[in-house]
Structure 1
Amino acid sequence: MMPSAKFPDLEGASVLITGGGSGIGAALVEGFVLQGAKVAFIDIADAASQAVCDHVEQETGARPLFLKADLRDIEALRVAVARAAEAHDRVTVLVNNAALDDRHAIENVTADFWDNNQSINLRPHFFTAQAVAPDMKEAGRGSIINFTSTSFMINHPNMPSYTTAKAGIIGLTKGLAGELGPHGIRVNAIAPGWVITERQRDLWVTDESLATHVSRQCIKEVMQPADMVGPCLFLASDASRMLTAQTLIVDGGFL
């Protein structure tokens, strides 16, 4: 369920979200549109992203802007950022959400696999922030929200490159916060626990594994993509204007 809270300063704001074509990203697109923001999102999946646009338009009456790009291609990423600013004015809220949590055994990881994994899960966070920073500096304000994960905090097995990237995002968040803070730009991270997206259900969720996980949460409910929207809206809005360089763990109290 989408949060009921309304953040008036987000109305009309230019918001850019990476990985908005599915899962948490799609929920974030809808959540910001419901706030009255002008939302653009970057994704590589054409059909799924168009479906998100159709759904959001049907639910809200406003259509987000889908920008197709491969985040591994930094020049394409920069072009997408420029297109978002051209369409909606300079971006003042950036949500770095895109990720790919493929499982991988240590013995099977090659240098090429590692580099490709990092180029999806960590590198775009920096270069998207780099691309929006000049406009945020000119505006004298901005909020960058980097999605990390609790996976590295709980010693999750079977994806060492992914967990490395997710830990790196927190370091990047703190470094960017220190650099950009004097310009009125805040940089924070959100660390979700196990959010049950369609991808999770298709690939990894079993009744037993989900029940075991939820039993360890303080709040005994399955987390859904929409549960990440409220925390993200808070960090994007001026309700959190003195909050930066922080990591907000949203895991139902698992940790």
Structure 2
Amino acid sequence: MSALLTVRGISRSYGGVAAVQSVDLEVDEGTIRAVIGPNGAGKTTLLDLVTGFTRPDEGSVEFCGHQLTGMSPRELPSLGLMRTFQSARLVPTLTVRQNVMLGAYRFTRARFFSDALRLPRTRREECELVVRADELVDFLDLRHFADTPAQDLPAGAQRLVEVARGLAAAPKLLLLDEPAAGLDDSETRELADVLDAVRAGGVSLVLIEHNMSLVLAISDRITVMDAGRVIAEGLPNEVREDAAVRKAYLGVAS
């Protein structure tokens, strides 16, 4: 396997407090990598550093041969890198279909004047976006919400719409920040099936998640963080039995 994402020695401090400390991470093509740890471990800060929402104090990030350090987040979708957030960042007044369509706009070529005049290219591209969005809405079993404004969705459905919007950009790597938040047990099992299908379709995943049943069910490798550092890394069974992990994250002494 070849590494899609390589993080080397990345660090970030705030007011003398180290949020992320010298973290190394590699994500191989065709895999699901989970990053777990207690609240405040630095997991979301790590995603922010990878995707340019936060600048590192030191270290580097490489994705598919491109140095990401210093790049703007809006440049990353064109490279094949997308992410979701802990809190769903949907446009509340747009429908589910329209929110998913937003993820695919990097494929459009029409610009302001053609949009304003509704020229043939604009109409054709809009039809293509609708088709792509509807395919993803069906894929995530959201068809009954397709015409529902995002603000009227239950929290769990909003999480799935964010996943669909990320997939609409046809990423090589999708970074998911707590996608199971707000989902019940049945919905979480369905999400596991969806993420397995996403991986089977050629999209690699990085998963930040507190739901250990989901993490253990779908992850190829797991990275464990605590107090900004990586304290363990390995296969799911190895990580589950690691004494440092059981103490720091699972709440047991040995």
Fold equivalence (TM over 0.5) = no
More strand by share: 2
The TM-score with structure 2 as length reference comes to 0.34
More helix by share: 1
Higher RCO structure, 1 or 2 (CA under 8 Å, sep 6+): 2
